[in-house]
Amino acid sequence: MTGRRSFWLFTAIAFGYAFLYVPIITLIIYSFNDSRLVTVWGGFSTRWYVELIQNERILAALWLSVRVATITATLAVILGTLAALTLVRFTRFRTRMLFAGMVAAPLVMPEVILGLSGLLMFVTLEQVIGWPAGRGMTTITIAHVTFTSAFVAVIVQSRLSQLDVSLEEAAMDLGARPWKVFLVIILPIISPALAAGWLLGFTLSMDDLVIASFVSGPGATTLPMVVYSSVRLGVSPQVNALATIIVVVVATGVITAGWLLHRQASH
């Protein structure tokens, strides 16, 4: 009975991993396909990587997405941390429930609604005060910060709620000012949550298509928008090459982080 249960458990796990990773492996293999048809193998070739490097449209979109994601993640960590501190440390102000609802709203609101509301806001602001002049990197960044800050706030809030308040009280009893308590005691303790929030914000910004489609203009096209437009006309082998590079970079980062954590734990 135990052997049969182990067999079915192993089968379910193997099927789950195959369902997740076989398409990715297939994509990587076909990125080296010489044929223009992504479903027909025409021999091994790296021509699509060469064409990808020479594709200025994709490279410009990639650079824009990286800049937007970096700024978005940084601002989201700052705003999300401040929101989390407010919710955890200040529990008795009148509008706390309203503030908590506003912080959590982007988590449950459809991206179509966020994108449409952002578009209407930017158009109105441009008509009233003349800023932002057109829609581009600035509007995309503001829209991304709006919804990624909520994710960071949830992560940091969960870490702050587990923080031992006696550590802060002991530091203040010894004469430390509040800002020094935050920098010396609270910040190092919540730094893993900040790093996780930054990475999540960066990933969400890089991956976003719907919101960016609403708040961007003709001169600002992010990488997901370029990939989506390319796929609509038929999957290009260059997209496979681009996806392979992203998978390799992410996998390298995950393996490196895991190795560093294992090394730190062993010491």
223 vs 92: CA distance, rounded Å: 44
181 vs 166: CA distance, rounded Å: 12
At 217 the pLDDT is: 86
Closest of 173, 34, 151 to residue 165, by C-alpha: 173
173 vs 74: CA distance, rounded Å: 33
At 264 the pLDDT is: 65
Ramachandran angles phi, psi of 33, nearest 5°: -80, 135
Residues 124-167 pLDDT 10s: 999 999 888 888 999 999 999 999 999 999 999 999 888 887 88
String of DSSP letters for the chain:
-HHHHHHHHHHHHHHHHHHHHHHHHHHHHHTTBSSSSTTS---B--HHHHHHHT-HHHHHHHHHHHHHHHHHHHHHHHHHHHHHHHHHH----TTHHHHHHHHHHHHHS-HHHHHHHHHHHHHHHHHHT--S-SSSHHHHHHHHHHHHHHHHHHHHHHHHHTS-HHHHHHHHHTT--HHHHIIIIIHHHHHHHHHHHHHHHHHHHHH--HHHHHH--TT---HHHHHHHHHHT---HHHHHHHHHHHHHHHHHHHHHHHHHHHHHH-
What mean pLDDT is predicted for residues 114-121?
93
Instruction: Record the pTM.
Output: 0.87
Lowest mean pLDDT, pick from 3-7, 81-85, 197-201: 3-7
**Cβ neighbours of residue 199 under 8 Å, at least 6 residues apart?**
73
Furthest C-alpha separation in the chain: 73
pLDDT, averaged across the chain: 88
Residues 169-200 pLDDT 10s: 788 877 888 888 888 888 888 988 998 899 99
Res. 35: pLDDT tops 90: no
At 267 the pLDDT is: 63
Quick one: tokens of 262? 């294992």
Neighbours of 133 (CB within 10 A): 8
Res. 1: pLDDT tops 60: no
35 vs 248: CA distance, rounded Å: 22
Res. 3: pLDDT tops 70: no
At 156 the pLDDT is: 94
- Confirm if 31 and 248 have CB atoms less than 8 A apart: no
Res. 218: pLDDT tops 70: yes
Lowest mean pLDDT, pick from 50-64, 90-104, 183-197, 253-267: 253-267
Quick one: tokens of 210? 């719907």
